[in-house]
Amino acid sequence: LKDININWREKMKNTLPKDFLWGGAIAANQCEGAYLENGKGLSPVDILPGGPKLRNEALEDVKKAMNTDYGYYPSHISIDFFHKFKEDIKLFKEMGFKCLRTSICWARIFPNGDNLEPNEEGLKFYDALIDELIKNNIEPVITINHFDTPLELTKKYGGWKDKRLIDFYARYCEVLFKRYKGKVKYWMTFNEINIILHIPSFGGGLVFEEGENKKQVMYQSAHHQLVASALATKIGHEIDSENMIGCMLAAGTVYPNTCNPNDILAAQAANRENYFFIDVQSKGEYPSYSKRMLEELGVTLEISEDEKKILKEHTVDYIGFSYYSSRLRSADPEVMKNIKDGNAFASLTNPYLKESEWGWTIDPTGLRITMNELYDRYNKPLFIVENGLGAIDKIETDGSINDDYRIDYLRQHIEQMKEGVKDGVNLLGYTPWGCIDLVSAGTGQMSKRYGFIYVDKDDDGNGTLKRSKKKSFNWYKNVISSNGDEL
Ligand code: BGP
């Protein structure tokens, strides 16, 4: 009996498969810099200033930013990953990364977005990056579009509100799938596809005209992206049947504020607002609830029969998602007056949970709940492609950075992730966000750091860009080498 007990314990310990994809996540627009090198065109992020206040104002309408000289643009140099990627990959390798999630910048490949031919110099950069990863046995996981639809497409077509972007995007995808055939297997079509409803300039390169019905524009643009994503899935599978093409959701379950059925209903509606996107990408059709949902928003979608067919026939292979927080909703307008905008997603304060310095709710159990919900709903492999704590790090006089708060956050989330796997979820991997410090998407700051690797640079753009290991570096290294047993 004793032996059986020990065996059972051992078995429960190793919950994660041997080939589990441990790694980290970054994105071109927040780390590469070199914003005009090798023929790159501009991305929306290249005209957005540093600092939360100015940035929020400019984010609301990229058009405003296009006409204003704000001075300091964090993406221009960023952490200069463009020139330093070999050095950084060496550090990722030292941590034992099995994969690295990064994105390709569309404007490096098609500077205007609608060019007929790709920019060879831009492709050469990604050739070198992907080859370097493979050389180090790190599997590249590629996001095709992470908040950087080329700015020229916004100027000329108004971003994703124009149907023609579907073809431009398909052309871009085809180039990538052909070029990286046999080298890249894991792809994601759009980062946080649901963000278009919250930060439309990032999600859809959208600017609004006076008097335009914003909801109508956002949902029609979302439809174009959903079709583009399905088309990419088609092209990707045709070019290489080994390709795993996924979607990517900004996830985080919405809880009801109380057990009042009206609150439950409000939370359900808020969840559907997010799942709507993945319902289409995963099940191949608009969900039945969307008819009433869109009607009540005053939205009428233009959808052709051909588009319906493409959506139906080319669903995704896996569900990638980011998880930072759960959220809280009430049906009571009085209660909802207390809602806080914790960056992109608004939420009430959950009295059972703590918050980060940026007011993001910290809820490790919510990760397990979210995993279970997504898996129950879609029954496709999941991939946690973002998770982490944005925090201010302090450098001690001896140069060390003791980020125990980050270790605690990640430990608790990995514990719950393992519980989710024990619950039966098929999970491909885990890539914490910003494994090396980079520019924050929401606030344009460097001081909101996520990394295991510190980068010497401040909010005004000063610093040597020198890399150094934080305490969490060796901690995560050990997590990976023990396959998540030692936390
Ligand atoms: C997600 C984005 C990332 C990243 C992260 C953290 O929404 O996909 O690009 O930035 O959030 O957000 P922030 O940088 O605002 O702290």
For residue range 249-300, what is the model confidence (pLDDT) as tens digits? 999 999 999 999 999 999 999 999 999 999 999 999 999 999 999 999 999 9
What is the pTM assigned to this prediction? 0.96
Gap from CA of 358 to ligand 1 centroid (Å): 12
Main-chain dihedrals φ then ψ at residue 126, nearest 5 degrees: -70, -30
CB atoms closer than 10 angstroms to residue 410: 24
Across all residues in the chain, what is the average pLDDT? 95
Mean pLDDT lowest for which of 63-67, 153-157, 294-298, 474-478? 63-67
Gap from CA of 350 to ligand 1 centroid (Å): 21
Q: Whole-angstrom Cα distance, residue 401 to residue 469?
A: 8
The answer to whether 265 touches 272, Cβ cutoff 8 Å, is: no
Residue nearest to atom 10 of ligand 1 (CA): 441
CB atoms closer than 10 angstroms to residue 437: 25
Asked if pLDDT for residue 4 goes beyond 80, the answer is no
Instruction: Please work out whether the CB of residue 443 comes within 6 Å of at least one atom of ligand 1.
Output: yes
Q: Which atom of ligand 1 is nearest the CA belonging to 192?
A: 8
Q: Which atom of ligand 1 is nearest the CA belonging to 27?
A: 9
Instruction: Please work out whether the CB of residue 409 comes within 6 Å of at least one atom of ligand 1.
Output: no
Q: Which fold has domain 17-481?
A: TIM Barrel (3.20.20)
Residue nearest to atom 15 of ligand 1 (CA): 442
User: Looking at 307, 386, 396, 419, which residue is catalytic?
Assistant: 386
The answer to whether 312 touches 229, Cβ cutoff 8 Å, is: no
167-213 pLDDT per residue, tens: 999 999 999 999 999 999 999 999 999 999 999 999 999 999 989 99
The answer to whether 278 touches 247, Cβ cutoff 8 Å, is: yes
Name the residue of 322, 384, 439, 450 whose CB sits within 8 Å of the most ligand 1 atoms, as the mutation to test its pocket: 322
Q: Whole-angstrom Cα distance, residue 48 to residue 122?
A: 22
Asked if pLDDT for residue 344 goes beyond 90, the answer is no
369-418 pLDDT per residue, tens: 999 999 999 999 999 999 999 999 999 999 999 999 999 999 999 999 99
Beta bridge partners of 449: 391
> Pick from 329, 353, 476: which is nearest to 410 by CA?
476
**pLDDT class of 28 with cuts at 50, 70, 90:** very high
Q: Look at residue 404 in the predicted model and tell me its pLDDT.
A: 98
Q: Look at residue 346 in the predicted model and tell me its pLDDT.
A: 81
User: Across residues 354-358, what is the average pLDDT?
Assistant: 92
The first and second tokens of residue 94, run together, are 């030292």
Name the residue of 148, 198, 433, 439 whose CB sits within 8 Å of the most ligand 1 atoms, as the mutation to test its pocket: 433
Q: Any catalytic annotation for residue 238?
A: no
Instruction: Please work out whether the CB of residue 250 comes within 6 Å of at least one atom of ligand 1.
Output: yes
Asked if pLDDT for residue 474 goes beyond 70, the answer is yes
Q: Whole-angstrom Cα distance, residue 434 to residue 24?
A: 7
Residue nearest to atom 4 of ligand 1 (CA): 441
Longest Cα separation, the chain: 75
ipTM over 0.90: yes
Q: Look at residue 414 in the predicted model and tell me its pLDDT.
A: 98
Q: Look at residue 15 in the predicted model and tell me its pLDDT.
A: 87
Q: Look at residue 52 in the predicted model and tell me its pLDDT.
A: 87
Gap from CA of 218 to ligand 1 centroid (Å): 20
Q: CB-based burial of residue 302 (10 Å sphere; 0-12 exposed, 13-18 middle, 19+ buried)?
A: exposed
| DSSP three-state, residue 176 | helix
Asked if pLDDT for residue 432 goes beyond 70, the answer is yes
Q: Look at residue 340 in the predicted model and tell me its pLDDT.
A: 81
**pLDDT class of 339 with cuts at 50, 70, 90:** confident
Instruction: Please work out whether the CB of residue 432 comes within 6 Å of at least one atom of ligand 1.
Output: no
The first and second tokens of residue 323, run together, are 């998880």
Instruction: Please work out whether the CB of residue 88 comes within 6 Å of at least one atom of ligand 1.
Output: no
Asked if pLDDT for residue 8 goes beyond 60, the answer is no
The first and second tokens of residue 360, run together, are 């993001």
Beta bridge partners of 341: 346
Instruction: Please work out whether the CB of residue 225 comes within 6 Å of at least one atom of ligand 1.
Output: no
